[in-house]
């Protein structure tokens, strides 16, 4: 029985402007079981806000980050 819950869930994600971020270690596959959830309203949808969710101390130690995927948007 399909009650349209998947459509409702998608609409809720859109209304709240939530974004899933999947992390991965170099040489490993991404961990699709445990995404970071970012929102435009709270801290923004940036690499910095993702790092701050993991651990604030990483921000000082990070030299660079790779961002990839079909929905990635780059700003010049």
Q: Is the pTM of this model over 0.85?
A: no
Cα separation values, 68 from 14, 30, 58, 74, Å = 21, 11, 20, 10
Tokens linked to 45: 């949808």
pLDDT at 69 over 80: no
* Count, residues in the chain: 76
Contacts of residue 17, Cβ cutoff 8 Å, sequence gap at least 6: 39, 40, 41
Which comes out higher in pLDDT, residue 3 or 8? 8
**Residues near 8 by Cβ (< 8 Å), separated by ≥ 6?**
none
The overall average pLDDT reported for the chain is: 83
pLDDT in tens, 18-67: 888 888 888 888 888 988 898 887 788 888 888 888 888 888 888 888 88
């Amino acid at each position: 029985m399909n009650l349209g819950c998947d459509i409702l869930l998608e609409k809720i994600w859109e209304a709240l402007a939530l974004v899933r971020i999947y992390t991965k270690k170099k040489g490993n596959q991404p961990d699709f079981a445990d995404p970071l959830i970012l929102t435009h309203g709270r801290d923004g949808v940036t690499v910095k806000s993702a790092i701050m969710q993991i651990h604030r101390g990483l921000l000082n130690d990070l030299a660079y980050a790779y961002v990839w995927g079909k929905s990635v948007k780059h700003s010049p």
